[in-house]
């Protein structure tokens, strides 16, 4: 009897693409034709800035597809990626166990960031990139991340500020620098760095490209908040998206005001 062939998990954060699709996707992702390009390049810079602070045993809470793993592995001894099954497998897919091979080498532990099954004081570094906004009880998650850190260990974190709703229904909030700083300090973490990602120009460019994507090119809004693009309107709109983003990528060099930013980058030490 032949084995049932596993089907792709619905709306998973883990994707399986064929060779040429992967190359096309990689080109698109790193070009201004990607409506998220302005944010993606700032996020990469933030992560590059965070990586040298990592050391020892590192727990990545909400590892996703481990997109920045290569930046951290040179700095740490062990890198554990934790993921939350209801998001990865699209709302507790009953065929969960058919997909375990997909996450091999990416996810080491399944669990909830708000209730870590990790020994207190066992991590030198906790990483959390664009995760906190997805938690119904972020206060519990920060308390847990502080608990598992050794004294002197560091929490490295990014959160979005100007960003469309995403991974619905798991998108709960956005943070201001004051709100985020206070939240961390309430749990015994000393904020060493808290800086904006981009400025008013980058945020404006990101919003405008979302307008082109959603209003001009968008066909249908998916249940997770993303949109499917109409093929022809998409082809006509992508040049506007690219031009807008290139314009604002230049403009951000001259803009000073960061009261509107794409997000925030944080390094906090456990006292």
Binding positions for ligand SAM, rule: CB under 6 A? 13, 61-64, 67, 83-84, 87-88, 112-114, 129-131, 134-135, 167, 170
Which single residue brings its beta carbon nearest to ligand SAM? 64
Question: Of the two residues 63 and 102, which places its CB atom closer to ligand SAM in the complex?
Answer: 63
Question: Of the two residues 84 and 264, which places its CB atom closer to ligand SAM in the complex?
Answer: 84
Strand partners, 231: none
d(CA 6, CA 114): 30
- How far apart are CB 36 and ligand SAM at their closest, in Å? 11
- How far apart are CB 4 and ligand SAM at their closest, in Å? 26
d(CA 149, CA 25): 37
What is residue 88's three-state secondary structure? Answer: helix
- How far apart are CB 253 and ligand SAM at their closest, in Å? 25
Four-point Cα dihedral 13, 16, 22, 26, nearest 10 = 10
- How far apart are CB 112 and ligand SAM at their closest, in Å? 5
- How far apart are CB 53 and ligand SAM at their closest, in Å? 16
DSSP 77: S
Per DSSP, the residues of 36-72 read: THHHHHHHHHHHHHHGGG--SEEEEET-TT-TTHHHH
Give the position of tokens 């990865």. 88
Q: What is the largest CA-CA distance in the chain?
A: 66
Closest CA to 204 of 260, 250, 160: 260
Question: Of the two residues 115 and 182, which places its CB atom closer to ligand SAM in the complex?
Answer: 115
Does residue 269 contact residue 188 with C-beta atoms inside 8 Å?
no
Question: Of the two residues 113 and 198, which places its CB atom closer to ligand SAM in the complex?
Answer: 113
- How far apart are CB 265 and ligand SAM at their closest, in Å? 12
d(CA 218, CA 12): 21
Question: Of the two residues 110 and 247, which places its CB atom closer to ligand SAM in the complex?
Answer: 110
d(CA 192, CA 167): 30
- How far apart are CB 233 and ligand SAM at their closest, in Å? 27
Does residue 224 contact residue 168 with C-beta atoms inside 8 Å?
yes
Question: Of the two residues 210 and 244, which places its CB atom closer to ligand SAM in the complex?
Answer: 210
The CA–CA distances, whole Å, from 210 to 18, 32, 184, 197 equal 27, 13, 31, 18
Question: Of the two residues 144 and 258, which places its CB atom closer to ligand SAM in the complex?
Answer: 144
- How far apart are CB 193 and ligand SAM at their closest, in Å? 18
Question: Of the two residues 138 and 196, which places its CB atom closer to ligand SAM in the complex?
Answer: 138
Question: How many other C-beta atoms are found inside a 10 Å radius of the C-beta of residue 166?
Answer: 15
């Amino acid at each position: 009897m032949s084995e049932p062939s596993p089907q792709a998990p619905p709306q998973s954060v883990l994707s399986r693409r064929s060779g040429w699709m992967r190359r096309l996707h990689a080109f698109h992702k790193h070009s201004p034709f990607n409506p998220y390009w302005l944010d993606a390049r700032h996020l990469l810079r933030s992560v590059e800035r965070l990586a040298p602070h990592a050391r020892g045993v590192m727990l990545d809470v909400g590892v996703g597809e481990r997109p920045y793993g290569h930046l951290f592995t040179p700095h740490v001894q062990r890198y554990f990626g934790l993921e939350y099954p209801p998001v990865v497998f699209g709302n507790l897919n009953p065929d969960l166990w058919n997909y375990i091979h997909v996450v091999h080498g990416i996810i080491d532990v399944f669990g909830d960031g708000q209730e870590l099954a990790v020994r207190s004081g066992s991590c030198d570094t906790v990483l959390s990139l664009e995760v906190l906004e997805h938690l119904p009880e972020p206060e519990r998650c920060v308390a847990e991340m502080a608990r598992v850190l050794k004294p002197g260990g560091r929490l490295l974190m990014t959160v979005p500020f100007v960003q469309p709703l995403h991974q619905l229904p798991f998108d709960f909030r956005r943070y201001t620098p004051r709100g985020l700083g206070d939240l961390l300090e309430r749990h015994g973490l000393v904020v060493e760095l808290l800086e904006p990602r981009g400025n008013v120009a980058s945020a404006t460019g990101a919003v405008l490209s979302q307008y082109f994507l959603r209003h001009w090119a968008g066909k249908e809004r998916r249940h997770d908040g993303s949109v499917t693009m109409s093929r022809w309107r998409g082809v006509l709109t992508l040049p506007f998206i690219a031009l807008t983003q290139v314009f604002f990528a230049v403009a951000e060099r001259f803009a000073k005001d960061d009261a509107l930013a794409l997000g925030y980058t944080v390094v906090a030490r456990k006292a």
